[in-house]
Amino acid sequence: MSSDGHEPTAMTFELLKTAVKDGGARLGRLAFPGRRTVDTPNFFGLTSRGVIPHVTPDNVEKHLLTNGTYMALEDFIERPQQYMTRSPPVYETPSPNNKPLQSFTAMPSSIITVLGSRRLPAVAAPMGNTNQSISVFTSTGFQAITTKQYINAIQTLNPDIAIPLADLTHKTSAPTSKRALRMAERTDDWIKEWFMEMYGRNKEPSKIATFAPVLPISYSIQWEYLERLSEEHQSNPSVLSGLAVYDADLIPDISSSYQNLDTLPRLALTTPSNPHQVLRQLSLGMDIFLLPFLSTASDAGIALSFTFPPPSSESSELLPLGIDMSSPEHAISLQPLTESCTCYACTTHHRAFVQHLLCAREMLGWTLLQIHNHAVLASFFASIREALADGTFEEKARQFALRYEPEIPQGLGERPRARGYHFKSEGPGEQKRNRPAWSKFEDEKKIEDKVADLSIADEQNGTSGLGSGVDSVAETPLVPDENADAKDLEEMGFAEKAENK
């Protein structure tokens, strides 16, 4: 109990060990009553419209080794034009345990829920933010949400962890110094309003854990904002439970300047595109990661195959970070997806079955890949924690960097259909995101040229130019060319020439 008689925020975080003096990679333990305890470093699952893609909530409980999920408010607050005044259904959900967000999404009660305003990565809004609101991208288009509306939504939905609003551009280019200063000033104003509404005088302190955003701008521009966070935490530790960090390179500045903030858990909103970037950010002191490349790899038909530390070998050839399960070479393979994996997909099915599912565009194929890829990441982080505990992390991280390829393979299989809320239309002349069910025969070489320069990072950031997927060579129904003769039809497999009798 706190000195004023109120029960403090339910979350606890304990630092167990740091790898090096004055910052760096560290071991910790995050706990909420009634939830799974999270040993850090670790990762949380990313959701789309409240669910981890391809995995039903019951299978999250059974097969996914994840202790938390990140959800975005913009996934739930669409306003169809014919029902502009209707309250979003998520706000009307009955919840016997006073957890409407968890009840609405049917997420298992053992899973920690994190609620932010935007998806990760977010689609940049054309109109930008204002002094009192940000633009969000719902399934019915862009709309503004005010700071007051966002705070009310957090109080209504009652997640375990909430991330206050931040003034972000969500663009790949760095903001100008003038825009960066405005980002810091707006976010500072919004965090003042947040603390007043959530923990102000004559109010019962909220039990929702606040993870304050750390902006992706230089420390010198946002130091006053960070100073406010430090002072608020110093005067009342229950109002600030953690940091949501958008740029890992700011962690050393925070560690050296604000000792009280250094003990808080750090949630990465940095969207690393491969495990090499994860290890780098982890070595700076990041605790919990959100990894868009995990679902992107599953959609691409990639079974992640890396381990920490890497397997010993005398060969100098780099190992791939993943295996393309849509490749025809797996059509008769009875091997598990990866030899050392003990997940449900690897112990129950084999590569040939998964390859068939992907070629037939059966949803189960992506489900099995999601289960496997989550298991690979869970094992990856568990091994990192062991290395931190025995003091071998830095050496094993160096071995990992030397042993594996720099990027995850992009995969040649056809992806699931893209949805309108996954991307922003670019206007006339834009290439279609989903391929038609039937198309004319296209030379295989043309298709290979399209995917030659793509990467998982391209698809994750929406910059591939091909939307959610790359054309499939093997499984797309074909239409013969109108000038094709009998010989052409036979060569393409459309028909067989009848012998003259």
Among residues 384, 270, 310, 267, the alpha carbon closest in space to that of 17 is found at 384
Largest CA distance in the chain: 101
How close are the terminal C-alpha atoms of the chain, in Å?
96
Tokens 């890396």 sit on residue: 306
Among residues 332, 310, 330, the alpha carbon closest in space to that of 320 is found at 310
SS (H, E, C) 105-167: HCCCCCCEEEEECCCCCCCCCCCCCCCCEEEEEECCEEEEEEHHHHHHHHHHHCCCEECCCCC
Report the run of H or E that residue 38 belongs to, with start and end.
strand 38-40
Q: Are 434 and 417 in contact (CB under 8 A)?
A: yes
Q: Are 308 and 340 in contact (CB under 8 A)?
A: no
Alpha-carbon distance of 279 to 291, in angstroms, equals 12
Tokens 């009955």 sit on residue: 94
Return the DSSP state at 210: E
Cα 188 to chain center, whole Å?
A: 26
Side chain identity at 239, as an amino acid letter?
V
Return the DSSP state at 319: B
Alpha-carbon distance of 216 to 61, in angstroms, equals 34
Alpha-carbon distance of 409 to 294, in angstroms, equals 12
Residue 135 — left, alpha, or beta (φ > 0 → left; ψ -120 to 50 → alpha)?
Answer: beta
Q: Which two tokens stand for residue 232?
A: 């608020």
Alpha-carbon distance of 334 to 323, in angstroms, equals 15
346 is in an annotated binding site: yes
* Residues 248, 251, 252, 254, CA torsion sign: positive
Which residue intervals of 326-485 are DSSP H helices? 344-348, 351-359, 363-390, 393-403, 444-451, 456-461
CA-derived radius of gyration, the chain: 24
359 is in an annotated binding site: no
Alpha-carbon distance of 413 to 410, in angstroms, equals 9
**Binding site per annotation, positions for Zn(2+):** 341, 343, 346, 372
**Binding site per annotation, positions:** 341, 343, 346, 372
